[in-house]
Amino acid sequence: MIKIKNSLTAILVLLVVVAKSQAPEAIIDRVLAVVGSNPLLQSELETQYQQMVTQQEPINANTHCKLMEELLYQKLLLAQAQKDSLTVTDAQVEQEMDRRMHFYIQQFGSEERFVAFYGKSVDDFKNDLKDNIRDLLLAQQMQSKITGDINVTPNDVKSYFNEIPKDSIPLINAEVEVGEIVKKPVITAQAKKDAKEKIEGIRQRIMKGESSFAAMAALYSEDPGSASKGGFYEHIQRGQFVPEWDAQAFKIKKGEVSEVFETMYGFFIIQLIERRGDEVDARSLLVAPKVDASDLLKAKLALDSIYAKLVLDTTTFSEMAAKYSDSEESKNSGGLIVNPLNGSSRFQMDEIGQMDQNVAFAIDKLKVGEYTKPMPFGTRDGKQAYRILYLKTHTSPHSANLLDDYQKIQAIALAKKQNTAIQAWIKKKLVGTYVHIADDYKKCNYSNKWLNEANN
């Protein structure tokens, strides 16, 4: 199946392509193909191959040819996008570069390591990368024009599934769907006032020179990620923490201590140690409003009432979650916890580690349709709360079927239909598009007829 790569992996390949031209050990590049007016370089192909090796993807004698065809397709998309005068804005390019560069720098561990490896600043690197990103976005936009309106009906899905040979029906691992209804204790105005006054006092002591920021953070910060290190955070990328934290870190000057500011976690002050582009080293101090035991008990009692209604079957779990749950992540999906790996509500059993381990332990004791009694847990922001868990589904390993796995089969059927449209589009566009391929890659057994007498 031919496709334009639309993942972070693809852009890492482009990053390496740009970098290789600067590396002393770089090969002498050459043009392997030209599609329209767009060259396909050997460095592009080789770095795609190296990415597959790094990610331990299957490699065989046909891998280079397969990658070559995917890149030819990308260049054909780009050529057509140029003919159709498609555009992407500078803002779109910048946003995409920032998103992917942030990911890439994280792989190195810090901006310094990234800069040391490539021998150029992040800004210089982004400038070198800009045209590649623009071409990629144009190609993606062109592909959307080809496949964007394609869909599959239930009859299409059924027909596709019935055509699969019995011995080729995919095996589906055991999966679960888990719901939650969360109740957080109400933080009183007095608790917020007390927390803010406390951190204001700490800040005043630092500003008067009575103590260092590091010492005060070690003594008073309630941030488990940094308190033991005197509040120190290193190599924090823009967007890694909450927006309010970023706003202060990228505004104050080196050595300066911020004003007190509020976040979902509580009240913070930070001290900037160093700023390098979109990365900072800083000290951070958190004071969170205290939850009164009586308020925590009220949250539990509210869930006791909800639990009773669920057990008596006087309401549905999704209705109660939508109406009463304090979880912004799950309340709008009927209370179902979302799998961060794929954005769905299903967790394969080998993905249970993506869940809170307390959740995995609790659902192990449940039968489908059962609920836990209200149980305490720590929220992502470090606060105490209560929740009810619900085991909606638990499927055993099985061969795929339309009843249990319709969405998976639908996705496969849609991909097949889209690929059929892509193949037809390629065939049509190759008639009027100049394509030249280097002699050593003409021997590949391509899925499409990239070579013709007029071009080669």
Q: Residue 183: what residue type? A: K
Residue 49 pLDDT greater than 50, yes or no = yes
Q: Is 387 left (phi over 0), alpha (psi -120 to 50) or beta?
A: beta
Q: Which of 320, 353, 255, 241 is nearest to 286 (CA)?
A: 241
The partner residues of 387 in beta bridges, in order of sequence, read 182, 375
Unique residue bearing structure tokens 């910060």: 221
Q: How confident is the model at residue 425 (pLDDT cuts 50, 70, 90)?
A: very high
The residue that leads in pLDDT, 28 or 32, is: 32
With contact defined as beta carbons under 8 Å apart, do 82 and 35 qualify?
no
Range in 116-130, 151-165, 286-300 the model is least confident about? 116-130
Q: Which of 211, 204, 201, 210 is nearest to 231 (CA)?
A: 211
Tens digit of each residue's pLDDT (9 = 90 or more) over 309-364: 999 988 899 999 999 999 888 888 889 988 876 778 888 876 655 567 788 888 88
Alpha-carbon distance 403 to 206, whole Å?
Answer: 64
Alpha-carbon distance 341 to 322, whole Å?
Answer: 24
pLDDT value, residue 11? 39
Tens digit of each residue's pLDDT (9 = 90 or more) over 211-238: 999 999 999 999 887 898 999 998 888 8
The pLDDT mean for the chain works out to 86
Q: Which of 41, 45, 35, 129 is nearest to 80 (CA)?
A: 35
Q: At what angle are helices 8-20 and 90-108 packed, to 10 degrees?
A: 80
For residues 253-269, give the mean pLDDT.
94
Unique residue bearing structure tokens 């449209």: 421
Residue 416 pLDDT greater than 50, yes or no = yes
Residue 2 pLDDT greater than 60, yes or no = no
Report CA 156 to chain centroid distance, whole Å.
31
pLDDT value, residue 175? 87
pTM of the model: 0.58
The residue that leads in pLDDT, 341 or 445, is: 445
Residue 116 pLDDT greater than 90, yes or no = no
SS percent in the chain: helix, strand, coil, step 5: 50, 15, 35
Go through 437-447 and write b for each residue having 16 or more CB atoms within 10 A of its CB, e for each that does not: beeebeebebe
> What domains lie within the chain, and their CATH numbers?
8-153+410-441 (1.10.4030.10), 172-185+292-399 (3.10.50.40), 189-287 (3.10.50.40)
Q: Which of 180, 147, 188, 186 is nearest to 298 (CA)?
A: 186
* C-alpha dist (Å) from residue 321 to 1, 186, 269, 318, 406: 41, 18, 35, 5, 25
The sign one gets for the Cα dihedral 454, 28, 98, 10 is positive
pLDDT value, residue 345? 86
Alpha-carbon distance 161 to 157, whole Å?
Answer: 6
Residue 15 pLDDT greater than 70, yes or no = no
Alpha-carbon distance 181 to 305, whole Å?
Answer: 12
Range in 146-150, 156-160, 239-243, 411-415 the model is least confident about? 239-243
